[in-house]
Amino acid sequence: MSENELVSVEDIQNRIYTIRGVQVMLDEDISACYGVEVRRINEQVRRNKKRFPESFCFQLTKSEFATLKSHFDIASSTSNLKSQFATSRWGGRRTLPYAFT
Taking only the tens place, the pLDDT of each residue in 57-73 is 999 999 999 998 887 76
Asked if residues 90 and 34 have their Cβ atoms less than 8 Å apart, the reply is: no
Q: Containing domain of residue 14, as a range?
A: 9-79+96-100
Strand order of the sheet with strand 57-59? 16-19, 22-26, 98-100, 57-59
Q: Residue 79: pLDDT band by 50, 70, 90 thresholds?
A: very low
Task: Establish if 85 belongs to a structural domain.
Answer: no
Task: Establish if 46 belongs to a structural domain.
Answer: yes
Asked if residues 39 and 50 have their Cβ atoms less than 8 Å apart, the reply is: no
Number of domains in the chain: 1
